[in-house]
Chain A
Amino acid sequence: MTLEWEPIPANDVFMANLIARTKNIKLGIGVSILPQHHPANVAARVALLDHLAHGRVYWGFGQGGVPTDWELFNLPDGKTQAQMTAEAHEIILMLWTQDPPYKFDGKFWKIDMQHHSEELRMGYPLKPYQQPHPPIGMTLMSADSKGGAVGGKRGYIPLSTNLVHQNTVAKHWETYCQGAAEGGLPEPSRDIWRVSRSIFVGESNDQAWDFCLNGPFGDSFNYMLTLLRNAEMLDLVKDDPSMPDENATVEYMLKNLCIVGDKKSCMEQFEELWDVTGGFGTLLFVKHDFDDAERWNSCMHVLAEEIVPALPTVGEAVSA
């Protein structure tokens, strides 16, 4: 809401525009920041989007982590907001899946709607197009991600962030599967796993590195590193926790967390990612600032036409 580097303050409004311009793309909200909205509003708006998109909407939720946003909304500390988020999540599921009357006596959110009218159909919030509700995704950040474990327990879609090392990404799947086992669910298929990576395929290794290091791509990582440092969350990006904070540089990020280089080098990096993680169902290309549209279009073309089609099938090791 208050970050100038991240200027979209309402992802549902943005998505409504995309829905009108597309027919097949599945669109995910990543994420609804629940402490900043009444859960009944979130439930209704996402349900409406799902209808407008004829069932192409995925939903994600989180609690947000921007201190100035917290002050803007007069929100409590992060730990308390986690509880607010959990309560709001339950309310949204209740409104999507149950008929009135509604009662939720939470610590932070309270709903007590007892006087609905069947005659007038009053007291019936909009249900989503998809039943019982749109697929729900959970973003996994740390190796032992609490969201990942909860997502596994509930059968939500796991989505690995681009802001961690691939060794951490590999652990995401273990955490998710442990959650599924704890929830009594069958062993999940890797087909459902989304892995996001910042990628740039250039004409040569030198050109790709220069483009990424000395432009908005590198600037965005410098911004992210500063955010994480200020939030004392820099360990997130480290493969080895003992690595000194000062070594977490833009160069480190590009080399260890991104896939940058010419086509041959990028393919080798994808092979390594595949081997380390064991494979996944969807690769999410992280879109950065398109400071040079021609280069980015070329990058996406190579990615879509040559690199991704060459990835093995889930369950098939590259080196097999």
Chain B
Amino acid sequence: MDSKRNSGDQIVKLGTFLMPVHPPEKSRTACFDEELNSLFTPTSLDLQRPGAVIT
């Protein structure tokens, strides 16, 4: 799919929906750390830019 967007058009925003579903046998502390840190990965879905959404 080639981008058909002209320069200056409003882009589709990308956000993340944290669905904290984890196997019960996984450490609870590890689950919480993972959920928090998932927003601070090397790419982080560009979530630090204004307008990014997390739900």
Contacts and interface: CB of A to CB of B under 8 A. Distances in A.
Given A297-B43, A300-B41, A286 B17 contact: yes
Interface residues of B, number: 47
A219 interface: yes
A90 B30 CA distance: 38
Contacts of A21: 36, 39-40
Nearest to A311: B12
The A contact surface, by secondary structure, is mixed
The B contact surface, by secondary structure, is loop
Interface string B1-40: 1111110011111111111111110101001101110111
A285 B39 contact: no
A5 B44 CA distance: 24
Interface residues of A, number: 63
Contact of B1 (A224, A270, A284, A314): A270
Nearest to B24: A4
A271 interface: yes
A314 B22 CA distance: 34
A308 B14 contact: yes
A218 to B, nearest CB: 11
A303 B55 contact: no
Interface string A17-47: 1100111111110100000000000000000
Contacts of A228: none
B14 A6 contact: no
Given A58-B55, A287-B38, A290-B34, A22 B22 contact: no
A282 interface: yes
A7 interface: yes
Nearest to A196: B17
A4 to B, nearest CB: 4
Contacts of B12: 280-283, 308, 311-314
A5 B35 contact: no
Nearest to B45: A304
Contacts of B45: 285, 300, 303-304
A22 B48 contact: yes
Contacts of A267: 1
B53 A287 contact: no
B30 to A, nearest CB: 10
A183 interface: no
Contact of A271 (B1, B6, B51): B1
Given A287-B19, A312-B4, A18 B36 contact: yes
Return the 6 tightest CB-CB contacts between A and B, nearest first.
A28-B55, A4-B24, A282-B13, A284-B17, A301-B43, A313-B9
